Amino acid sequence: EYNGVSKYGVCFVDTTTGQFYIGQFEDDKHSSRLLTTVAHYPPALIVFDRKTTSARTSRLLSTHCHSARREPTTLWAPEKTLKILAEKYYKTDGDGKWPTGITPFLHEEQKCHPDSRAIFYEEKTYSKRKVLDFILLLNGFTSILKLVDLFSDVDAELLKKLTQFAPEGRFPDYRDTLKFFKEGFNQQEAEKEGRILPGSGVDADYDNTIQLIQNIQDELKEYLSEQERYFKCRLTYVGSDKKRYQIEVPQSAAGKANSDYHLEGARKGFKRYSTVETKDLLARMIAAEEKKSNVLKDLSRRMFEKFSSHQHQWEMATKCVATIDILLAFTEFARQQTGDICLPEITYNKDQEPYIDIVEGRHPCISIPEFIPNDTRLGVDNPRLLLLTGPNMGGKSTLMRQVGLLTVLAHLGCHVPASECRLSVCDRIFTRLGASDDILSGQSTFLVEMNETAAIVKHATKHSLVLLDELGRGTSTYDGTCIAWSVCWWLAGRSCRTLFSTHYHSLVHHLADHPAVLLGHMACMVETDESAPDGDHIPEETITFLYKLSPGACPKSYGFNAARLAGIPREITQRAHTISRNLESEATCVRAFRDVIKTDNAAELRKILSALTI
């Protein structure tokens, strides 16, 4: 870290795909990019060099990656790592070469692993679950092929590309590949047994072991026929497991057994013999069955590996279907809208002045007939910073969220709820909406706001969209006003499209003449109860929100209306109203005095002074 700038080098592996990522980047003092990285790829294990990692970064990783494991000791240097591996695990017998793999070493580890029994116990259940997932995957890709016939007569170029085989489209033709996997094993048996038993011609190793077992069985039958001819009676093999293939001879013919026959047992009327040939055939059969078992254990993996070898086909099909799914979602969203919708027009030119021009835009998540649409125009012929005022609950935050969501939908290519929508490309959207603290990091509400504002100031460009809602809360009125004033002035100079809402009316007064600032407010209608007496009893004001963006500044925030609706006692709101009027009178006098001392017209000054009541 240096002067609030951190430099990170990151290397991680995505265990779901087996891909390694490595990169280096500079970050702000809040580590925004690092937090974004760990949010997108939540780590299961974090390894870092304690000597070069700052205490702040260590605390940040502990806070935001509390579920990830950490190594108890520091990382070894590369030289020490190679030395330990060579001396302890590999080059222990004088061998000067590194091994091609560490499988034997891992097998030794597994022998004494305390959880080995539990792992082996659950192996069948886990394998069955993987096989079921594989079958579901094959069935899913089978269903996807229906899209080819369903959209065969479509004229839209995009749908042709997404649903048709080459050359008309880019949908992969994996029918032969899918047929190989679906016909390669019995799905019903695989679902029942939890393992894949391939058909003939699917797996060469499995076919060879089956053929080997069949050859041994043929030899056993042939040998039994020879013995029947020798004993001149019908014989059978008896026994199980390692006692199999004992020749059972009737008592009447047992006298022909010579020294080549070894007596293994007897039952009433029969004797059981083994020979060198039967023992050899049994040993060969046991070896063949063990080979078959080993092949079956690895068969699922090889089947999955063969399936993964066609990954480019599956990925392309998945991307096509995902795109269709998004288009369907856009279509359903447009269908559910009750008002006007339009396809936004987005322009891009790096030398073009950024703008947003929305006519009768509505919030995309509020689809009710009573919703009041609003026009939003930033840039074009207007300044690009809208300083927004208005009463509490008047719709300022809703308008800001509406503009942000419509911008996102426009960049996605979705229809938007508006009569017209034109805008230039936004490189990033920055938001500072709502109020919350961060207890775990020890950050107050105001500090959280300042951190987010600092990120905006650092990264916003003229092509960005900035949404700032009531910046400056959580500190004194003067400090909050000054910070909001300075940030608003800086954003106006940066010329990025900005919606800046505030209740600081002095801020509006100071920026009213700024050429890059447009004043706007959410309109409302105020009705005063004239029957209320004067004095300490303040007339009640009834506010009717019009939810319409109008030019100019709103004279008041009408916070007492929100207090009344919240149920604050009347005597409290009346006293607050009295104090508010006194403070407003003082502020008005100060502004009038400033205007007086600025005038150079002596006659006008005498006229103003003569009108003052002492």
Residues 555, 424: one domain?
yes
Judge whether residue 511 has pLDDT over 60. yes
Tokens of 109: 């580890």
Residue 315 within any structural domain of the chain = no
Q: Place 437 in a pLDDT band, splitting at 50, 70 and 90.
A: low
Range name among 158-162, 191-195, 572-576, 603-607 with the lowest pLDDT average = 603-607
Q: Where are the alpha helices (DSSP H) in 170-203?
A: 175-183, 187-193
Answer for the pair 469, 440: CB distance below 8 angstroms, yes or no: no
Structure letter (DSSP) for residue 425: P
Residues 564, 575: one domain?
no
Q: What's the rounded Cα separation, in Å, for the pair 583 and 246?
A: 111
Q: What's the rounded Cα separation, in Å, for the pair 12 and 37?
A: 10
Residue 339 within any structural domain of the chain = no
Q: Place 318 in a pLDDT band, splitting at 50, 70 and 90.
A: very high
Residues 88, 128: one domain?
no
What are residue 406's phi and psi, to 5 degrees? -65, -35
Q: Residue 473's pLDDT is what?
A: 78
Candidates 462, 409, 464; CA nearest to 432 is 464
Q: Place 300 in a pLDDT band, splitting at 50, 70 and 90.
A: confident
Task: Name every residue whose Cβ is closer than 8 Å to that of residue 166 and which is 6 or more positions away in sequence.
Answer: 173
Q: Residue 19's pLDDT is what?
A: 80
Residues 265, 410: one domain?
no
Task: Name every residue whose Cβ is closer than 8 Å to that of residue 429 and which is 6 or more positions away in sequence.
Answer: 404, 407, 408, 464, 465, 466, 467
What are residue 146's phi and psi, to 5 degrees? -65, -25
Exposure on the CB side of residue 389, measured as CA atoms within 13 A? 22
Judge whether residue 289 has pLDDT over 60. yes
CATH code at position 25: 3.30.420.110
In 3-state terms, what secondary structure has residue 421?
strand
Residues 117, 253: one domain?
yes
Q: Residue 593's pLDDT is what?
A: 66
Tokens of 563: 């207090």
Average pLDDT of the segment spanning 428-445:
76
In 3-state terms, what secondary structure has residue 596?
helix
Residue 324 within any structural domain of the chain = no
What are residue 535's phi and psi, to 5 degrees? 90, -135
Residues 477, 419: one domain?
yes
Residues 464, 440: one domain?
yes
Q: Chain centroid to CA 602: how far? A: 69
Q: Which amino acid, 553?
A: A
Judge whether residue 110 has pLDDT over 80. no
DSSP conformation letters of 328-384: HHHHHHHHH-SS--B--EEE--TTSPP-EEEEEE--TT---TTPPPEEEEESTTS-S
Answer for the pair 385, 491: CB distance below 8 angstroms, yes or no: yes
What's the sign of the alpha-carbon dihedral 565, 571, 575, 578?
A: positive
Q: What's the rounded Cα separation, in Å, for the pair 403 and 378?
A: 11
Q: Please give the helix or strand (H or E) that residue 70 lies within, else none.
A: strand 69-70
Task: Name every residue whose Cβ is closer than 8 Å to that of residue 409 and which is 6 or more positions away in sequence.
Answer: 344, 364, 415, 416
Domain hosting 69: range is 6-75
Residues 366, 504: one domain?
yes
Q: What's the rounded Cα separation, in Å, for the pair 443 and 400?
A: 26
| Summary mean pLDDT of the chain | 83
Average pLDDT of the segment spanning 400-405:
95
Q: Where are the alpha helices (DSSP H) in 41-171?
A: 55-64, 78-85, 103-111, 116-144, 146-150, 157-163
Judge whether residue 115 has pLDDT over 60. no
Domain count, the chain: 5
Q: Residue 190's pLDDT is what?
A: 82
Q: Residue 330's pLDDT is what?
A: 93
Residues 564, 589: one domain?
no
Judge whether residue 157 has pLDDT over 60. yes
- Long-range (24+ apart) CB contacts under 8 A made by 93-100 are none
Range name among 113-117, 221-225, 383-387 with the lowest pLDDT average = 113-117
Residues 460, 432: one domain?
yes
Residue 154 within any structural domain of the chain = no
Q: Which amino acid, 28?
A: D
Q: Residue 359's pLDDT is what?
A: 95
pLDDT: which is higher, 589 or 377: 377
Residues 214, 350: one domain?
no
Candidates 582, 530, 548, 540; CA nearest to 565 is 540
Q: Residue 117's pLDDT is what?
A: 47
Q: Residue 614's pLDDT is what?
A: 47
Candidates 419, 417, 388; CA nearest to 405 is 417
